[in-house]
Amino acid sequence: MKTCYIYIRVSTEEQKNSGYSPDNQIRHCREYAQMNKYQVKRIFDDSGKSGRSAEKRPALQELLKAISEHPVDAIIIYKIDRFARNVGDFDRMYKDLKAKGIKLLSINEGDLTEGNSLIPNIFASVAQWESEVNGERTRDALAQKFEGGWQPSPLYIGYRSVGGEDEKKTCEPDPYVTPIIKELFELYATGNYSILALQEWLSKKNIISRQGTPLGHSVINNILRNPFYWGLIRWHGESKIGKHQPIISKQLYDVCQYTLAKHRSFLLRRRVHDFLLRGFAYCAECGQRYTAEWHKDAKKLKTRGGKIAYYHCQKRERNGCPAPYIELSDLEEQVEQQFKKMEFSEEFISAVVRKTKEVLEENRRLASSNTQGILNQKNALEARRNTLEDVLLDGTIDKESYKRRHDDLQQQIINLDNQIIELDNKAKIDIDLIEEVLAFTRNIHQAYVEAPTFLKRHYLRFFFEQIVIKNKKIYKVVPTPIFKILKNRHEIIIRQSGLPR
């Protein structure tokens, strides 16, 4: 029996056209193959690809490789402009197919390899002309869209299309994806998550590429750098505030840019020994940042477990800085005493309690909305899985393709189930976090002492830009901008004595 490959392509803009939809093209090509007694060996699908050159279509590249390694009798396409959008590409591929004795069969134009290449090249020329005309119209429409206050480029992750057709479509936040993208910014702003960690986190939440693969490192980096999420639109060197609904605030965006740009040791670097004050302690003699290390001596330090840790200026050994070593426990105890001097005003504590209640109510509302969004997505995936199973029973899909798609759908469903569990757990974490915040405002010192190391670093980051050391003592502290504002507004009081009220 004669064999064939099927190739289909539909650009993102054409997906809505039932005549060009992937399912419709595949159905017509299968019927054509069956009617002409061809056995379909494989379907190559470039759905969502608008590339005008062959190099920009991965499935077409796979097809060209396949006909060299595993030749067939024919290639079946829906229409010539699905196969090539410029004469040069078409002529090259056309000659290659003829040389290999492979027919190029079009549902709409018939056998393109019969006779000479004049007629097929005319078809290809018309396709190229249509592509160029449509391109010019599209550019004009996109420019008008920008003037109207909407982003002309394809939708960014977190938004979905609404209203209008083609370039007249606008956008709105996607109920399921938007909260995840917002949380992505919030997590990165803490400085505790690398892009690699966020890549894995997004994958578990089914935020994946159109190809079904995890979002790449550069994609996540571009999301974090994209001002569209706080409201800015850009087009050909121009920018302005758009009409779309922002997902995050400008302030949160700015914090993320700071985190991206600031390569401080406590932000992203993972260390074997992550000393508490690394990145905060500085030398008063030369201004160099302090580092820390363990000194080991099983005999001399027997009573201390065979080792002792010291902070010291990084220039002490290399450039003769006179600043002495200071024992880890000594310096960290001095820092702890700094917290003993602080207390928030009653007015500030009341404001925190009020705001905490608002956050709790908002979190409950979002949790309910997010859970419903996940359930809706799960139902849609289950419906797709059921359809896929029916297609297998009908014999219209091969076993390998079925297994691959079915496994992908099943994994996405499992991920959604895990997200529902995660939302329940997050509600418990929110309560724990609120308790921590309230404890922090009511007794800063006690909250700091009882906190685990990672949380202590958050407290340090809230108050201190630098802790300057001279002769083994804290010489001065450089407050963060927010700490300075709180002091100036008397929202936080610094006592001269470390005694409690």
Q: What is the pLDDT of residues 197-219, one digit of tens each?
A: 898 899 888 888 777 778 888 89
Same domain flag for 246 and 277: no
Cα 11 from Cα 14, distance rounded (Å)? 5
pLDDT at 125: 57
Residues contacting residue 430 through CB under 8 Å, at least 6 positions apart = 360, 363
Structure tokens at 401: 């393709």
Q: Mean of the pLDDT values across residues 321-334? A: 92
Q: Are residues 99 and 163 in the same domain?
A: no
| Most confident by average pLDDT, 54-63, 269-278, 339-348 | 339-348
Q: How far apart are CA 273 and CA 277, in angstroms?
A: 11
Question: Phi, psi at residue 355, to the nearest 5°?
Answer: -65, -35
| Residues 221 and 347 placed together within one structural domain of the fold | no
CA distances from 469 to 284, 308, 341, 391 (A): 6, 19, 18, 71
With CA atoms as reference, report the closest residue to 268 among 190, 332, 202, 183.
190
- Are 167 and 130 in the same domain? no
Shared domain check, 460 and 366: yes
Assigned domain for 150 exists: no
Among 30, 239, 53, smallest CA distance to 146 is for 239
Whether 59 and 111 map to the same domain: the answer is yes
Exposure on the CB side of residue 294, measured as CA atoms within 13 A: 12
Q: What is the pLDDT of residue 301?
A: 79
> For residue range 1-57, what is the model confidence (pLDDT) as tens digits?
899 999 988 765 555 444 567 888 888 899 999 999 999 999 998 876 555 555 668
The identity of residue 216, as a single letter, is G
Instruction: Say whether both 390 and 481 belong to one domain.
Output: yes
Contact partners, residue 485, CB within 8 Å, separation at least 6? none
CA dihedral sign of residues 310, 312, 318, 319: negative
Average pLDDT, stretch 433-450? 79
- Give a yes or no: residue 309 inside a domain: yes
- pLDDT of amino acid 459: 84
What is the share, in percent, of the chain residues with pLDDT greater than 90? 18
Residue 430 and residue 363 in contact, taking contact as beta carbons nearer than 8 Å:
yes
> Structurally, how many domains does the chain consist of?
3
Same domain, yes or no, for 38 and 181? no
Q: Strand pairing of 492-494 and 110-111?
A: unpaired
How much is the average pLDDT of 174-183? 90
Q: What is the pLDDT of residue 499?
A: 36
| Whole-number pLDDT of residue 124 | 54
Report residue 141 as tokens.
Answer: 């429409």
Judge whether 214 lies within some domain.
yes
d(CA 251, CA 370): 24
H-type helices in 1-40, by residue range?
A: 22-35
Lowest mean pLDDT among 52-61, 194-203, 336-345, 367-376: 52-61
Could you tell me if 227 and 327 lie in one domain?
no
pLDDT greater at residue 468 or residue 46: 468
Q: What are phi and psi of 108, to 5 degrees?
A: -90, -30
| Residue 141 counted as domain residue | no
462-473 burial, b at 16+ Cβ within 10 Å, e below that, comes to ebbebbbbeeee
CB atoms within 10 A of CB 179: 19
> Does one domain contain both 336 and 447?
yes
Please check whether residue 105 is in contact with residue 74, taking contact to mean a CB–CB distance below 8 angstroms.
yes
| pLDDT for position 135 | 54
**475 lies in a domain?**
yes
Domain assignment present for residue 149? The answer is no
Q: Domain of 241: which CATH number?
A: 3.90.1750.20
Predicted confidence at residue 56, as pLDDT, reads: 67
Cα 193 to Cα 224: distance, rounded to the nearest angstrom? 13
- Candidates 431, 459, 454, 427; CA nearest to 443 is 459
Kindly state whether residue 144 falls inside one of the protein's structural domains. Answer: no
What pLDDT does residue 48 have? 65
Q: CATH number of the domain at 25, please.
A: 3.40.50.1390
Domain holding 35, by residue range, is: 2-134
* Structure-block tokens of residue 273: 């020994």
Smallest CA-to-CA distance from 280 within 238, 321, 232, 334 is with 334
β-partners of residue 474 are: 469
Which of the listed residues 261, 294, 325 is the one where a domain comes to its end? 261
Distance CA 472, CA 381 (A): 62
Q: Show Cβ contacts of residue 450 under 8 Å, excluding neighbours closer than 6 positions.
A: none
* Tokens (6 digits) for 263: 């390569």
Domain termination residue (choose one: 85, 117, 134) = 134
Please compute the mean of the pLDDT values over residues 432-448 and round it to a whole number.
77
Report residue 17: phi and psi, to 5°: -75, 110
How far is CA 336 from each of CA 279, 323, 494, rounded to the nearest angstrom? 16, 22, 14
Q: Tell whether the model's pLDDT for residue 305 goes beyond 80.
A: no
* Residue 70 tokens, joined: 């595993």
- 101 and 221 housed in the same domain: no
Can you give the pLDDT at residue 227?
A: 92
Task: Determine the Cα–Cα distance for residues 377 and 86; give it in Å rounded to an integer.
Answer: 40
Residues 165 and 57 in one domain: no
Residue 44 · residue 63 · CB < 8 Å = yes
Is 111 among the domain residues? yes
Of the three residues 261, 293, 313, the one that is the final residue of a domain is: 261
